Chain A
């Protein structure tokens, strides 16, 4: 499995901010660090507002559309720094080497296009053999849509949530990308549909060796399908490790997340919750940004800048100064 170990994407010390003409630039992501190896499924977990979607936007180059900018760090993909390349170069990459499945299945597809038209648009730049119609059929087969002829002529409002998400995945797969980013692909869908979509993603990975980044706030879901987990809190990566390593977390935030899982809770027992809320963007405190909610905090946590990830890149890393306290 030498191919497994090849690093496909490296996010290094990424810093993203929203510039403002009069006020100070608002920093929304700082210290984002993780790798994606080829053929690997990586889960990014974090609360709403932790910056997980913004990091992914920097990987597909749609930050600027939201007024945000990469202010520092690197996003290395196949030897190129995605933070530096021009829009023309983006057009060669986006949708071809990197596919994206947006968050909301219900708002994702264009409502005035039929499935066929939607796919045709995605296939416009495809270099694969065959006509667009043939390729569309192949894609719909790939995402396990059975009534291909009917679905081709249908508009998004005629499709169920699960079907719409399948169509979106088909579009993202149009040019056989090396990396697929799925941003909370199953939010708002039933658990049964969710498990089907997850199965589909795993099959795609197995069949094509596609690397997948799965964003979710459901740790249990990530546990089921991913190889490695990236935990984000208030714009920073606080822990990175394999799913098995994460059973014994080295960061208090991950520990708390693990304990708040209901699938391992005893029915009726008190669930562990995380104190307070994550600090809002623009209101980050000095030192560790988790300190206000942390049960392991000490005085040195409250000063300086946010701690970096300790440990060797690629191993089980944590951004906690007192990570040794969590052992055992």
Chain B
């Protein structure tokens, strides 16, 4: 039986005050087991990205606590340092904005390697090249700057950079929404390989097709709360909430069509 590597309890995040107050996440609790692929799905504005940022240690929750291996993460101004900082890594939505345009892919990854490991620059470069190679980026492309790389390649550089810390959890916030279909397939294959290596992946997305492909368990989020959660296949086959059904029916292609036809029949 695997243990829960992350446990988030009663997370609330509010932005602004008075009439501008926005409750982005309201009393949300979730667990993540070691090596588990977990999905969080919802529309824009549902609070899924904010929640991911809380889990990654980038957004202090207004109330509630995240436990990493039983240790609370947010404890005053020295929050989320040390081990947890290294073990939880994040890949962001926009591969065009999340890489430094001045650095080559190699130096971006090598820099991260040196931050997380004590090693010389040349050792870091070797390790970075190896990471990039695992991500399917050849040496020829590794010395290119982000603008010379395709969206899919950039996203894989971001993943390589996240992996340089040798994390146990990878948080991916809409990693596939800005890249095209074949690049998406490449990235998902990579994620699948990482899962086999025992990495836990939290996939945040509005695309249920991606979620179904990769995850075993999913939380459906709407207006800052979880409306439904459980086994991914179960939710796909028997969605309980009207909102989940609507999300399923919107998936382009064969998946959504099945749900749409069911709806018409009933």
Contacts and interface: CB of A to CB of B under 8 A. Distances in A.
Interface of A: 47-49, 160-161, 187-188, 190-195, 198, 217-221, 223-224, 256-257, 260-265, 267-268, 270-274, 277
Contacts of B150: 48-49, 277
B123 interface: no
Contacts of B256: 195, 224, 263
Contacts of A274: 182
Given A220-B252, A257-B181, 6 more contacts: A47-B180, A161-B44, A190-B43, A190-B206, A220-B254, A263-B252
Contact of B185 (A190, A218, A221, A272): A272
A48 B252 contact: no
B207 A191 contact: yes
Interface residues of B, dominant DSSP: helix
Interface stretch (B49-57, B82-90, B157-165, B243-251): B243-251
A260 B187 CA distance: 11
Interface stretch (B5-13, B61-69, B72-80, B209-217): B209-217
Q: Which of B178, B192, B213, B232 has most A Cβ within 10 Å?
A: B213
B135 to A, nearest CB: 13
| Complex A-B, nearest 7 residue pairs according to Cβ-Cβ distance, in ascending order | A220-B253, A263-B253, A195-B250, A221-B252, A260-B185, A217-B180, A271-B185
A223 B252 contact: yes
A273 B189 CA distance: 9
Contact of A218 (B208, B250, B252): B252
B27 interface: no
A191 B208 contact: yes
Contacts of A192: 43, 206, 246-247, 250
Chain B interface residue number, banded:
35 or more
B251 A271 contact: no
Contacts of A262: 184-185, 188, 209-210, 212-213
B212 to A, nearest CB: 6
A194 B252 contact: yes
A35 B257 CA distance: 28
A257 B250 contact: no
B168 interface: no
Given A263-B209, A268-B192, A191 B251 contact: yes
Contacts of B233: 267
A260 B181 contact: yes
A224 B257 contact: yes
Given A191-B208, A263-B252, A271 B188 contact: yes
Q: Which of A263, A264, A277 has most B Cβ within 10 Å?
A: A263
Nearest to B189: A271
B251 A47 contact: no
A191 B247 contact: yes
Contacts of A272: 185
A257 B180 CA distance: 10
B257 to A, nearest CB: 7
A263 B254 contact: yes
Nearest to A256: B182
Contacts of A256: 182
Contacts of A221: 252-253
Contacts of B153: 277
B146 interface: no
A52 to B, nearest CB: 11
Given A191-B247, A192-B247, A264 B253 contact: yes
B166 interface: no
Interface in B184-206: 184-186, 188-189, 192, 206
